[in-house]
Amino acid sequence: MSWFTRKDKGILTPTESKREAPDGLWYQCPSCKKAMHTREHRLLAYTCSNCNYHEKIGSQEYFELLFDQTKYTELDAMLSSGDPLTFIDTKRYPDRIKATEKKTGLKDAVRAAHGKMNDVDIVIACMDFSFIGGSMGSVVGEKIARAIEYALQNKIPFLMISKSGGARMMEAGFSLMQMAKTSARLAQLAEAGIPYISLLTDPTTGGVTASYAMLGDFNISEPGALIGFAGPRVIRETIGKDLPKGFQSAEFVLEHGFLDFIVDRKDMKDKLASLLEMLK
């Protein structure tokens, strides 16, 4: 990856990048290699003006794109990880958390907020892949469960934006049970007749796919996103063959009947607001 992509460390550092962003910075599309101003890229909802490649973005960017005037109330913002198993692999788990907090400025791999989208009330929970691969531990499960509860109590539609490699291994059994916890709250939301839209973004795999991400009244995605239960590497090793082109892409998943539609990120806000309006 070259120095001017969003993945570059220097640019991801929140305060620095914003201050220096005016005109000097360039974004190069990793797909077609076209260079464009970061400002133009942002105006296009972080998609490429040439090939429409949808760059991976985090909760901050999605909240800015979807909430009216970027105004929202964050829910349970301070919740942070414990170390229930005193887990050590090559590193102590609490050290890994601390280092990741410092690097990303995030408390864990999901943020939840209440705001308005084209004047329609909505609760959005959005995952951040930059936090240990968007892995699902107790904090992720708890924040999502609480966001659903909040939507349930206030009768507000819920939008979940998933982006995850799956389980947080350092929380083992606790991580697994977050699939159950979030699905339990979604069962209650469904019984109450409150709309749930699940947006699966690039990439969504593992336990997240096998729980809340696939349980929307509407399961939707962005062009080209990778969506699957097992990761491509594991499947390749299991079947001992190369995978067909486009396997596990959003388009593939749509074709097999597990997505309702794929939406261009530039049209996302209007389309979702219209959909929710129809359900009123």
Partner 1 sequence: MRTLLEFEKPIADLELKLVELKKLAIDNDVDVSAAASSLEKSIASLKKETFSNLTRWQRVQLSRHPERPYTLDYIENICEEFIEVHGDRNVADDKAMVGGFGKIDGQTVMIIGQQKGRNTKQRQMRNFGMPNPEGYRKALRLMKMAEKFGKPIVTLIDTPGAFPGLEAEERGQGEAIARNIRDMFMLKVPVICIIIGEGASGGALGIAIGDRVLMLENTWYSVISPESCSSILWRSWDFKEQAAEALKLTANDMLGNGLVDGIIPEPLGGAHLNYGLATATVKKVILDTISELNKFSADERISQRIDKFTKMGVFQ
Site residues (vs Zn ion, CB under 5 A): 29, 31-32, 48, 50-51, 53
**153 near partner 1 (CB under 8 A):** no
Q: Which two tokens stand for residue 69?
A: 């005037």
Give the whole-angstrom CA distance, residue 180 versus residue 151.
18
Among 100, 178, 201, 221, binds partner 1 (CB under 8 A): 178
Which amino acid, 170?
M
Counting contacts by CB under 8 A, is residue 176 touching partner 1?
A: yes
As measured in angstroms, the least distance from the Cβ of 27 to Zn ion is 10
The Cα 199–Cα 220 span in angstroms is 5
- Residue span 156-175 as binding mask against partner 1, x where in contact by CB under 8 A, dash where not: -----------x-x-xxxxx
For residue 108, give the 3-state DSSP assignment: coil
Task: Map residue 134 onto helix, strand or coil.
Answer: helix
Residue 224 backbone class (left: φ over 0; alpha: ψ -120 to 50; beta: rest): left
Q: Which two tokens stand for residue 259?
A: 């997505």
Indicate whether 206 belongs to the interface with partner 1 (CB under 8 A): yes
Q: Which is nearer to partner 1, 115 or 133 (CB)?
A: 133
Q: Is 257 in the site for partner 1 (CB under 8 A)?
A: yes
Cβ atoms 140, 110 nearer than 8 A: yes
Residue 105, phi-psi category: left (phi > 0), alpha (psi -120 to 50), beta (remainder) = left
Among 32, 43, 77, 243, binds partner 1 (CB under 8 A): 243
- Which of these segments, 12-20, 55-63, 122-130, 223-231, binds partner 1 (CB under 8 A)? 223-231
Q: Is 222 in the site for partner 1 (CB under 8 A)?
A: no
Among 36, 258, 266, 271, binds partner 1 (CB under 8 A): 258
Closest CB to Zn ion among residues 43, 51: 51
Apex 65 CA angle, 59 and 70, nearest 5: 85
Look at residues 13, 134, 113, 135 and name the one whose alpha carbon lies nearest to residue 64.
113
Q: Is 131 helix (H, G, I), strand (E, B) or coil?
A: coil
**Smallest distance, Å, CB 90 to partner 1?**
7
- Our finding on whether 193 is near partner 1 (CB under 8 A) is no
Tokens at 233, concatenated? 């590497």
178 is in the binding site of which of Zn ion, partner 1, none (Cβ under 5 to 8 A by kind)?
A: partner 1
Among 228, 263, 268, 276, binds partner 1 (CB under 8 A): 228
Q: Does 186 bind partner 1 (CB under 8 A)?
A: yes
- Report if residue 179 touches partner 1, rule: CB under 8 A: yes
Residue 48 binding partner per list partner 1, Zn ion, none, with a CB distance cut-off of 5 to 8 Å that depends on partner kind = Zn ion
Q: Which helix (H) or strand (E) holds 251?
A: helix 250-255
Q: Are 207 and 144 in contact (CB under 8 A)?
A: no
Question: Footprint of partner 1 on this chain (CB under 8 A)?
Answer: 79-85, 87-90, 138-139, 141-142, 145, 167, 169, 171-181, 183-188, 190-191, 206-207, 209-215, 228-230, 234-235, 238-239, 243, 247-248, 256-258
